[in-house]
Structure 1
Amino acid sequence: MATIFHLALASDWAAAQESGAYTTSTLGRTLAEEGFIHASRADQWTAVRERFYGDVSEPLVLLQIDTDLLDVPVVEEPAVPGGSETFPHIYGRLSATAVVKAIPLSAAAEAPAAAPVAAAAAAAVVPTTSAQPTESFSRIYFREMFFNMAMLCIVLALGTIGGLLGGWIGGLAGVAAGGVIAVVLYRRRHAKPTLA
């Protein structure tokens, strides 16, 4: 799974959830106008927020997108012609099912007086399962990395035990069993919430 990110107005994301597809390219520009949807890697989205969304007082959400779930191409391209830094660009509508998390971002930096109202509005329109509005991106990132490393350790441990008990065939069986367990645990952890 490759993960990319897109900053969105909470109202745009709420509309996309109803329609099933997100078609905003960037702040004030549609997919039809731009030709693609701007996205960022994990190390880029905070700078994008500061540069392009610093004056936005509306609630924002950070969309975490699994590129394996997209049915349109993602192309790494320079932000400006001849530029050295590339960004992922999504060439087509972003299916709401490809968004694995929608993390409300605090609006305190943008509008101090309206921060409680903005945070409540973001929480009301964006269902999330594990992210709190005040939780930092680095905390979320390291928690996911720790979980992924734990899944790898399960696979390696079962492969080693299988190898010790049954030679290379036992090792393969152990790796297969560990892989199945890791996939089941991963899917449980990242299951989409059902709305009642």
Structure 2
Amino acid sequence: MTIAPTKLLLRLCVIILVMTISFASAGDAPRDERSPSVGMSARIEQIVLPGSELVVKPIEDYDSPVIVRIVETYPHGDAFRYDMIYYGLDPGTYDLRDYLQRADRTSLDDLQPINIEVRAVLPPGQIEPHKLNAGEHPSLGGYRTLTIVLGVNWVLGLLLIVFYRRGRRATGDETSVATPCLADRLRPYVDDAIAGKLTRNQLAQLERMLLAHWRGRLGLE
């Protein structure tokens, strides 16, 4: 039978609470509480049970309606006297013998019933919460996927930077070593000639450049 997660969590909390908390006796009169409400602790103190020592059965079913703990055990002649604490998780009538066993694993047939009644607090017909079903979630990738994506982007960015700088450097080198053409060299002289600022030396240099250019074009050198 499948147990609702909320109900299972409640039972586990109660089991842990029962196994870790000891309640001190209140007053001199032993307590004999046989009718607690659901989820509330109850005590049975100084109850004498014949036979060898009793211990609590190991909890194997987390859907058990009653959780029992033996707080103290005292020798009592050829019997033992016990202080017990228990929790009822489901309403109903139960026998605490079903949750006990002898330390020497002998029979419990000589024990009288230890009946209790767990009372319901809520009226009948209450609706329990729906069971929680684990749904499927879309896979968005984990830490490993994120690391791979960031690594690839980092490498691509580095390559872009390297090739961009290399391209700019190559362009700069070509620009720096490029030889000015004849038109570029003649432009200052032409501008000065139009403005009437051309000197004799500049005019002679202009003639030499034109002469050298045409001699090269005509193959006279």
Identify whether the pair has TM-score above 0.5, normalized to the shorter chain: no
**Structure 2 length-normalised TM:** 0.18
Q: Which has the higher contact order (CA 8 A, sep 6+)?
A: 1
More helix by share: 1
TM-score by length of 1: 0.20
